[in-house]
Structures are given as C-alpha cells and as structure tokens.
Amino acid sequence: MDEDHKNFKWLVLLTVVIGTFLGRLDQTIVNLALPKIITDFRITVTSASWIATAYILANAVFVPIWGKLGDTIGRKKVYIWGFGIFIFGSALAGFAWDLNSMIVFRIIQAIASSADYPTAMAILAVTFSHGKERAQALGLWSVSFAAASVFGPLIGGPMIDIFGWRSIFLLNIPIGIVGIVMALIFIRESVSEHKTVHFDWWGAITLGSALSSLVLVLDQGSIWGWVSLSSVICYIATIIFTTIFILIEAGADEPIVDLKFFKNSVFVNTIVNNFVVFMALMGAVFLIPIFCQTYLGYDATKTGYIFIPMAFFMVISSAIGGSLTGKLKPKYIIFASTLIASIGVFMFSFLDPRSTMWSVIIPLSVMAFGLGFGMSQRTNVITVVVPVEEMGMASSVLALGRNIAGSFGIAIFGTILTDATKTNVLNTAYHSIINVTNSTVYQEAVQLIILKSQIDAYKPVFWTASAVLLVGAFLSLLINVSKDQMTHGHKAEDFVEI
C-alpha cells in the first residue's frame, strides 16, 4: 500500500460509513412509512408486513454470497455493485404502484444492501492493518448501525409528512451517488490470494433455503402461531436444508462458508457472544419506541430525540474501546461492555406511565456506552483469527449471526410480552373486585386492568433481556486472544491489492 493511499484511509472509513448508514437508515425509515403505504395501496397491516419480511429474508440469504464473491472477484467491485443496485432498487421503490411491486423492489434493495457488511468490514481490515487503529476504525463504522436507527425517525418523520412516503426512497439516490464516487476514488481493490474456480452454488442454494425458512418463521410465527402447520413446516425445512448444507460444505473444495471456522474456539465464542448481545438488545430495544408512544404519549419525532444521546455515547465509547486495544485482553473489554449493557437494559424495567424523558434517556445511554466499546473488539477479534483470504466470508458469518439474532430477539421477546400481558390480565382480574352497576364505569375498569397488565408485561421482557446479556458477558470470558495479537493483527503484505 503506497503512502498516498495511507493518507486516504480515514476517507475510506467515511466512505463505508456512508454506505452502511444509508442502508440501515432506509430500513428504519420504511417502517415509519408503512401506515402511509397501507393507506395508499389500500392493503391490510398483515399484508404490509410482507414488505419488511421480504427485505429481511433477501438480506439474510445474500449476505454470505456477497462475502464469498468479495473475497473472490474483489471487495471494491462487489461493494460498488451493491451500492449501484441499491440506488436502482430505491428508485424503483419510489415509484411502486402496488404491494407486489413494492415487495419486488424491496427485495432488490435488500439483495444489494446485504453486500455492504461483509465487503465493508473486509475493506476496513485491509485498509487499517495495525490492530489498534483497525479497532478504532471498525468501532466507528459499527456506530453507523446505531446512528441510522436514531436518525431514521428524525429524518424520516418530517420527510414523510411533508413530501410523502415516496421521498424516503428517492433520497437514497443523490446520497448513494456520492457514496459510489467516493468508493471509486478512495477504496483500493483487494482480493483473496485463492481464486474461486467453481462457485459453491449448491451450498448457496441450500443455505439460502435454510435461512429463508428460519427467518420466515421467526418473523411470521407470532401471527401464524408457533405450533401452527405453517410454522412446523418451516421448522422441518430449516433442519433439512441446514443438514444438507453442512454435508455439502464438508466436501466442497471452495465452500461458501468454511466450516473450519467453527473449529476455531475464539471465532465460535465471539460469534456466540455477538449473537447473545444482539438477540437481547434487538429484542428489548425495539419495544422502547412502542412504550414511549403508547404509554408516555410521545409522537414519533419526540421519540427520535430520545435516541440522540444514545448515538453520542456509542461514538464516545467506541473510540474508548479502540484505544484499549493492546492494553487489555479483548475478553475483559467485551465482558465489561456486555455487563454495562445488561445494567442499562435492566434499568428499563423501572419504566411506568409516570416516567420522564430522562427515565428513558439514561438507560439508553448506559446501554449504548456498554455496547459501543465492546463492538469494535468483537469485530476486531474476527479479523485477526481468520485467514486474510477469507475475511469477507468470516465477516458475512458475523453479519448473518447478528441478523438472525435480531430476528430471534424480536420473536422471543415479543412472545414474552404477549404471554406476560395475558397472564397479568388473568391475575389482576382474579384479584380485582369491581363494585359498580354502571356499564360504562365497568368497561373503564376493565380497560384499566388491561392497561396495567400491558405496562407490567414490559418488566419481565427487560429482566429476561438483562439476564441474557449477563450470560453473554460471562461467555465472553471464553474469547482467548492475546493483547499482542490484537495489536499487530495482519500485516499489510498479507493482502493482495490490484
């Protein structure tokens, strides 16, 4: 890598941050736009849910494919192709005329967006070869995920109200073009030393089928019923296709996912910790905006303001996490990170209708601070324990685990909330005596019982999420990587640049 390119490396970071931020921002804003889309397309809420489900499915399926292609034909090439297709899909979505067209165009966006994570992580690993500097870069890049979820409501709400829902898709076009131009200028192409002769299509197909059935049941299971025929079919399909995939990959010369990764205890333990953390956080945090708008009376914009300090603390703690590289073993940093996040999530259990804005901001900030300084360490560990020629593949496994963990978390904690509400209603009703004859007053009393039951149901969700994070904290102590290995990482000459 020449001296001029070294001077551009922080611009490379800015470039991939723009791409990652834009992809996650789009996903966040579209959720805000669903009520307007439902009205314009004259569809039901259940039908509209397939707009999100289709996106999640396509994104999960194509992450490992893009990761393998990035290692093979070039990460810059794949990154730019993904960016370009995303812009094209955004333009199409902006002119969607019905539900079917919107689903197709969202799938195009999702396929393109899934190219970002594995290629961006590999690009940063190539660009920042020194361990400590790489940890800082990966940490700051990781913050873009949280920043997108924060700024989504702030940007999307006013745009939807003023310009209509189509504007949120068309906004991606100018920003995307800027991102592509920056990628062309600043990113240096890099590929694996090992060229793929035969792409593992059967592995890709069976993995895609297994992921499709798994994510589908996680997303729709609460609607279908977890033991319904549709859910059971998905469970069986997931098991069958996963088994076939493992058998194919075990004998493949150039597998789409190298199963040898899972013989590496550091890799496995890092993936497990990452899965547990994102399952608990995604499962619990997606309920916060609902609580604020339903029980605290906030509108979408005010709810978005609450999340701004979260982004600030995550940026600060990410920089701190990067600076700790080489000073402490990563397992201790990740342990402290996950423990603090657990405390932050536990603090949400004290929320009630009398809570102030600060009652939400403080737990969010504590949780974000903990999450931030461990995130860069988890990502950095992956980059130093896998062969450099399989960096994209390894990062795609990390991304895949995070996405599935989020789906698991939302499904599990959503179910806990529903079940807890039902239990609370029965218990409260059993211990309540309503001594009135007026039917109106009686109905009001029943509604109050239901309301109290709904509010109290959030507590076990946050307790469970906090406990899961606590388990994840202790599991992180199994990540045994030395300080020296984290400091030095891979040498620049380990990568092939073209």
Quote the CA–CA distance of 252 and 203 in Å, as a whole number. 8
d(CA 105, CA 102): 5
* CB-based contact 345:280 (threshold 8 Å): yes
* Domain membership flag for residue 335: yes
Structure confidence at residue 482 as a pLDDT band (50, 70, 90)? low
Position 394 in a domain:
yes
Torsion sign over Cα 439, 444, 448, 450:
positive
393-417 average pLDDT score: 79
Q: Note the pLDDT tens digit of each residue in 424-447.
A: 777 776 666 676 666 676 677 767
Residue 371 clears pLDDT 90, i.e. is over it: no
Q: How confident is the model at residue 495 (pLDDT cuts 50, 70, 90)?
A: very low
- For residue range 63-101, what is the model confidence (pLDDT) as tens digits? 888 877 877 778 888 889 988 999 999 999 999 999 899
For 130, the 3-state DSSP assignment is: coil
Q: How far apart are CA 173 and CA 169, in angstroms?
A: 8
Quick one: pLDDT band at residue 293, thresholds 50, 70, 90?
confident
Torsion from C-alpha of 128, 130, 132, 135, nearest 10 degrees: 30
Q: For residues 310 and 366, give the distance between their C-alpha atoms in angstroms, rounded to a whole number.
A: 8
pTM over 0.85: no
> Does 206 fall in a domain?
no
Q: How confident is the model at residue 211 (pLDDT cuts 50, 70, 90)?
A: confident
Residue 191, beta-bridge partner list: 496
Contact between 188 and 497 (Cβ < 8 Å)? yes
pLDDT at 91: 94
In a domain, 53, yes or no: yes
Structure tokens at 23: 């992809």
**pLDDT tier at 483, thresholds 50, 70, 90:** low
Domain range spanning residue 475? 3-200+252-497
Residue at token pair 């604020």:
292
What's residue 491's pLDDT?
43
pLDDT of residue 362: 94
Query: Percent of the chain at pLDDT above 90?
Result: 16
Residue 430 in domain = yes
Does the pLDDT of residue 498 top 50, yes or no? no
Total domains present in the chain: 1
pLDDT at residue 1, as a whole number: 45
Residue 283 identity (one-letter amino acid): G
Other Cβ atoms within 10 Å of 169 Cβ, number? 24
- How is residue 300 written in tokens? 């979408």
At 464, is the secondary structure helix, strand, or coil?
Answer: helix
Residue 409 placed within a domain: yes
The mean per-residue pLDDT over the stretch 322-331 comes to: 79
Q: What is the pLDDT of residue 108?
A: 93
| Segment 467-478 mean pLDDT | 90
Q: Is residue 294 part of a domain?
A: yes
Give me the mean pLDDT over the 460-470 stretch.
Answer: 91
In this structure, what token pair is assigned to residue 90?
Answer: 């955004």
Q: CATH number of the domain that 141 lies in? A: 1.20.1250.20
Q: For 51-55, 115-119, 260-264, 431-435, which range has the lowest pLDDT when averaged over its residues? A: 431-435
What is the pLDDT at residue 486?
Answer: 57
Nearest of 208, 218, 252, 209 to residue 64 by alpha carbon = 208
Q: How would DSSP label each residue in 35-92?
A: HHHHHHHT--HHHHHHHHHHHHHHHHHHHHHHHHHHHHH-HHHHHHHHHHHHHHHHHH
The H-assigned helical ranges of 286-329 are 287-295, 300-306, 308-323
- 286-294: long-range contacts, CB 8 A cutoff, minimum separation 24: 286/409, 286/410, 287/413, 287/417, 287/458, 287/461, 288/348, 288/360, 288/364, 289/153, 291/351, 291/458, 292/360
Beta pairing partners, 325: 328
> What are the pLDDT digits (tens) for 142-190?
777 767 766 776 787 788 878 888 998 998 899 889 989 988 888 887 6
For residue 313, give both structure tokens: 């603390």
pLDDT at 75: 83
**Beta-carbon neighbour count of residue 97 at 10 Å?**
9
Report residue 490 as tokens: 């891979």
User: Could you give the percent of the chain with pLDDT greater than 70?
Assistant: 87
The reply to whether 178 falls in a domain is yes
Residue closest to 397 by CA, chosen among 26, 190, 122: 122
Q: How far apart are CA 437 and CA 439, in angstroms?
A: 6
Contact 498, 189 (CB under 8 A): yes
pLDDT of residue 89: 93
Residue owning tokens 């893009």 = 66
